[in-house]
Chain A
Amino acid sequence: MIELIVADRCTDCGTCVEVCPANVLDAGQGGLPILARVEDCQTCFMCELYCRADAIYVAPDCDRRVTVDETEVMASGRLGQYRKHSGWDEWWDRFPNEQWLMETVFRRAGEAAAQAKVTSADVIRTK
Chain B
Amino acid sequence: MVLSTLEELSLATDVLVVGGGMAGAWAATSAAEAGAKVVLVDKGYCGTSGVTAAAGPGHWWVPPDPPAARDAAVANRVTSGLGLGEADWMYRVLDQTWRTLPTLARHYKFGVDDEGRVNYRAVRGPEYMRALRQQVLSHGVTILDHSPVLELLARSDGSIGGVRGQRRQDGGRAYRIEAGAVVLAAGGTSFLSHLLGSRTNTGDGYLMAAEAGAEMSGMEFTAAYTIAPAHSTMTRSMAYSFATYYDADGRELDIPFGPDQTIRLARALQRGPVYCSLHRLPDDIKARMHTISPNVPLVFDRWGIDPYRDRFEVTLHNDGTIRGIGGVRVHDVDGRTSVPGLFVAGDNASREKVAGAISGGGNVNSAWALSSGVFAGRAAARLARSAKRSGGRLRPLGRVGREPRRVAKTVDLAALRDGVRAEMHPFEKSLFRTGQGLAVSARVLEEFWTELADHADTGTIASRETAALLATARWSVATAAARKESRGLHRREDFPSRDSGLAVRLLSGGLDQIWVAADGAPVDAKSGQLEAAS
- Is A61 located at the chain interface by the 8 A CB criterion? yes
Q: Could you tell me if B231 and A61 are in contact, using CB atoms closer than 8 angstroms?
A: yes
Cβ-neighbour of B122 out of A18, A46, A99, A110 (below 8 A): A99
- Is B256 located at the chain interface by the 8 A CB criterion? yes
| Cβ < 8 Å to B, chain A residues 75-127 | 78, 81-82, 85-87, 95-103, 105-106, 108-110, 112-113, 116-117
Q: Could you tell me if B301 and A78 are in contact, using CB atoms closer than 8 angstroms?
A: yes
Known: A60-B303, A105-B241, A109-B241. A99 touches B232 (CB 8 A): no
Considering the chains assembled together, what is the distance between the CA atoms of A103 and B395 in angstroms?
A: 48
Known: A61-B232, A109-B242. A100 touches B119 (CB 8 A): yes
- Is A22 located at the chain interface by the 8 A CB criterion? yes
Q: Could you tell me if B234 and A99 are in contact, using CB atoms closer than 8 angstroms?
A: no
Most buried by B among A62, A116, A117: A62
Question: A residues within 8 A CB of B341?
Answer: none
Known: A17-B169, A19-B47, A82-B298. A97 touches B127 (CB 8 A): yes
Question: A residues within 8 A CB of B299?
Answer: 60
Q: Could you tell me if B294 and A21 are in contact, using CB atoms closer than 8 angstroms?
A: no
- Is B123 located at the chain interface by the 8 A CB criterion? yes
Question: A residues within 8 A CB of B280?
Answer: 112
- Is A59 located at the chain interface by the 8 A CB criterion? yes
- Is A70 located at the chain interface by the 8 A CB criterion? no
Considering the chains assembled together, what is the distance between the CA atoms of A79 and B303 in angstroms?
A: 14
A-B contact count (CB 8 A): 156
Q: CB-defined interface of B384-406 with A at 8 Å, one 1/0 digit per residue?
A: 00000000000000000000000
Q: Could you tell me if B111 and A98 are in contact, using CB atoms closer than 8 angstroms?
A: yes
Q: Could you tell me if A98 and B291 are in contact, using CB atoms closer than 8 angstroms?
A: yes
Interface size class on chain A is 35 or more
Q: Could you tell me if B44 and A103 are in contact, using CB atoms closer than 8 angstroms?
A: no
Q: Could you tell me if B295 and A45 are in contact, using CB atoms closer than 8 angstroms?
A: yes
- Is B382 located at the chain interface by the 8 A CB criterion? no
Chain-A contact segment, one of B9-17, B190-198, B492-500, B510-518: B190-198
- Is A43 located at the chain interface by the 8 A CB criterion? yes
The residue in chain B whose Cβ has the minimal distance to the Cβ of A42 is B199
The residue in chain B whose Cβ has the minimal distance to the Cβ of A46 is B48
Considering the chains assembled together, what is the distance between the CA atoms of A114 and B349 in angstroms?
A: 35
The residue in chain A whose Cβ has the minimal distance to the Cβ of B197 is A44
Q: Could you tell me if A40 and B199 are in contact, using CB atoms closer than 8 angstroms?
A: yes
Q: Could you tell me if A63 and B282 are in contact, using CB atoms closer than 8 angstroms?
A: no
Question: A residues within 8 A CB of B47?
Answer: 19
Known: A23-B44, A82-B295. A99 touches B282 (CB 8 A): no
Q: Could you tell me if B111 and A22 are in contact, using CB atoms closer than 8 angstroms?
A: no
| Interface residue ranges, B against A (CB under 8 Å) | 43-45, 47-50, 53-54, 56, 58, 109, 111-113, 119, 121-124, 126-127, 145-146, 168-169, 194, 196-200, 229, 231-234, 238-239, 241-242, 256-258, 280-282, 285, 288, 290-295, 297-299, 301-303
| Interface residue ranges, A against B (CB under 8 Å) | 17-23, 40-46, 49-50, 58-64, 78, 81-82, 85-87, 95-103, 105-106, 108-110, 112-113, 116-117
A sample of 9 cross-chain residue pairs with beta-carbon separation below 8 angstroms, ordered by A number, consists of: A20-B44, A21-B45, A22-B199, A22-B200, A23-B169, A60-B231, A62-B194, A98-B292, A99-B111
